[in-house]
Structure 1
Amino acid sequence: AFFSDINVLKSQVNGALAETPFGQFLAPGIADRTDVDIVFRPQHVRIDFDRAGKGPLPTATDGVPARAVVKRARYLGHESLVEFQMDYDGSVLKVTVPRVFLPEVGRVMWLTVPRNRCFIFPA
């Protein structure tokens, strides 16, 4: 977080897995019942459009899509910053997108988080 914005998911490890609305994350070497932070940068979140109440299918590399609503979108000169309010707990995740991408406030979209772009730390 010292160098740039981050997003943080809170979870707890059970059987070397941390359960989240984005699916399970591997947490090898972390003891069961340990609270963890799953950290990823805004530029690594993938956005997909809503398809009549459904998002994309889950994949091994991107996990499960989580439903979110656009809270705010603004253009920053070379990229767009979109803030999403997550359905599962009301938290806000920040997503950056190259160039101009300004979905309207209130639009439903689906987010996925590539597993190879996440870091898991004991909380």
Structure 2
Amino acid sequence: MPDHVHLLISGRLPTSDIKRAMDAFKYESGHWFLRNAAGVEWQRNYYDHVIRHTESLSNHVVYTLNNPVRAGLVDHWNDYPFSGSIGVDLVEYLRDLEESVKFGGLHGGSERRRRKFD
């Protein structure tokens, strides 16, 4: 999205500190913005939400991926150049989610482009 970002992050250990990770992310990326994108800066705070159930995770993944579709930036979530994942294959992950919960599907694109995660 041109004016905000959605992140779905997960700690690797029970002692993982999401606030510390977000502070470090904003600090490091903020310095990059100063050098490479004058005038772009993070807002002071951020909004967080703890996801405790697979169904809720599925809803958040679908919402996040479809955000550029709802904004009219692309016809299909996979066409948005800034959607992606580090360490997780999104299509494989969505297949796994589909098997775990009743999955509503992703918006935009033809049935062929939607990839019926089978």
Name the structure where strand makes up a greater proportion of residues.
1
Between the two structures, name the one with larger relative contact order (CA 8 Å, sep ≥ 6). 1
Q: TM-score range by the shorter chain?
A: under 0.3
**TM-score, scaled relative to structure 1:** 0.26
Q: Report the structure number with the largest CA radius of gyration.
A: 2
